[in-house]
Amino acid sequence: MPDQIKRLLVVVSVLAILFVVARTFFIPEGFGKFGHYRAGSLDSIATLPVNYAGHTACLDCHSDVDQVKQNSYHRSVNCEACHGPGQKHIESMGDSVLAAPRDRDYCVLCHGYSSAKPTGFPQIDPIAHNPVKACITCHNPHAPDPPKIPGDCSACHAVITRTKALSPHALLECIQCHLTPEEHRVNPRAVKPGKPLVRGDCGICHAQEAPGDKSIPRIDFERHGDGFLCWNCHYPHNPESKKK
């Protein structure tokens, strides 16, 4: 073997040996046990402290509140959603107290109007709805029945109301097209409002012969729309999709 190669081999071998030795010092224990990671990490993460106690933890001491809440509209809202993390409160045996949001800003997070919120979710306009007053003045957060049964559909159907208000149908009452049992006001999910079923329902105003204002657009019922139901094309709450 040429002299140069011998010398280089020495250098390379030394480096290789140093590398192999260093590995035993630097690779942490448990690395590779479950996969290409440090097995100890699973424990480090699993034993991190918990801040939210979970919905069942409150029941041990506050079952009375829960009894009320579980029959109310807020039955699916967990305690800590409004009261914040409760683990410290439990661990301190009640010494550290949980905050209860009392100002308007908090309830509005869920109940403030937004067009992106799903249909039928109870929403109010925070500026118009009893301004300045704290929500809890009229609504018990654990049984948030409105003090008065909602008179207006807009209490829950805010997007539709606002959309309709910008449309040619602005002056139409909701109940003119939707026959709604009274119970819907208290039990909205169980009892639903009715909807028009046949073309003739729109024809009450829009047929050629229909009585009513001359400005209401009239169509030839035989021919218009190929016999499809009117709302297949026209959104009844904003029929021409135009702003007023």
Partner 1 sequence: MDRLTEQLAHALKSITGYIYPNEIELHWGILIVIYPYLTGLVAGAFILASLVKVFKVKALEPTYRLALLTALSFLIIAPVPLLSHLGHPERFYEILFTPNSKSAMAMFGFVYAWYLMMVLLLEIWFDYRAELVRWAEESTGFKRLAYRALALWSSDKSDKALAFDKRAVRLITLVGIPSAFLLHGYVGFIFGSIKANPWWSSVLIPVVFLFSSIVSGIALMLVIYLVTSLWRRKKIDMPCIDKMSEFLLYALIIDFSLELLDFVHRLYQSEESIEILGNMISGRLFISLIIVQMLMGTILPLIALGITRVRRRVLPEELRRMIYLLAAIFVQAGIFSTRWNVVIGGQLFSKSLRGLTIYKMEVLGIEGLLMAILLLVLPFVILGVIVKILPPWEEEVHSPTI
Partner 2 sequence: MNEDKVERRSFVKTLVGLVATAGAIPLLSTFDKIYASANDTENELIGGKRYGMGINIKSCIGCGRCVDACKRENNVPRDPYHFRTWVERYAILMSGETKVDSPNGGMEGFPAETSEGEILRSFFAPKLCNHCSNAPCVQVCPVGATYTTPDGVVLVDKDYCIGCRYCIQACPYGARFFDPATRTASKCTFCYHRLSKGLLPACVEVCPTQARIFGDTLARASQLTRFFRFNEIQVLKPDLNTRPQVFYAGLDGVVR
d(CA 187, CA 194): 15
To partner 1, the closest distance from the beta carbon of 5 in angstroms equals 8
d(CA 96, CA 89): 5
Residue closer to partner 1 (CB basis): 4 or 232: 4
**Residue 94 binding partner per list partner 2, partner 1, none, with a CB distance cut-off of 5 to 8 Å that depends on partner kind:** none
Residue 226 DSSP SS3: helix
**What contacts 90, CB < 8 A, 6 or more positions away?**
53, 57
Query: Are the C-beta atoms of residues 65 and 142 closer than 8 Å to each other?
Result: yes
- The least CB distance from residue 157 to partner 2, in Å, is 13
Please answer whether residues 80 and 56 qualify as being in contact, where contact means their C-beta atoms are separated by less than 8 angstroms. Answer: no
**Tokens in use for 23?**
């590995």
Site for partner 2 in 129-168 (CB under 8 A): 159, 162-163, 166-167
> Between 6 and 243, whose beta carbon lies closer to partner 1?
6
**Of 18, 21, 27, 138, the one binding partner 1 by CB under 8 A:** 27
Per this entry, what is the length of the chain? Answer: 244
Any alpha helices (H) in 27-149, and if so which ranges?
Answer: 40-46, 59-69, 79-83, 87-91, 104-111
Applying CB under 8 A, does 50 fall inside the site for partner 2?
yes
Smallest gap, in angstroms, from Cβ of residue 167 to partner 2? 8
Give the nearest distance from C-beta 114 to partner 1 in angstroms.
17
The reply on whether position 23 binds partner 2 by CB under 8 A is yes
Assess 2 for contact with partner 1 (CB under 8 A).
yes
Collapsed DSSP state (helix, strand, coil) of residue 177: helix
Picked from partner 1, partner 2, none, the partner binding residue 228 (CB below 5 to 8 A depending on kind) is: none
Nearer to partner 1, 29 or 95 (CB): 29
Q: Which residues bind partner 1 (CB under 8 A)?
A: 2-4, 7-8, 10-11, 15, 19, 22-23, 26-27, 31, 36
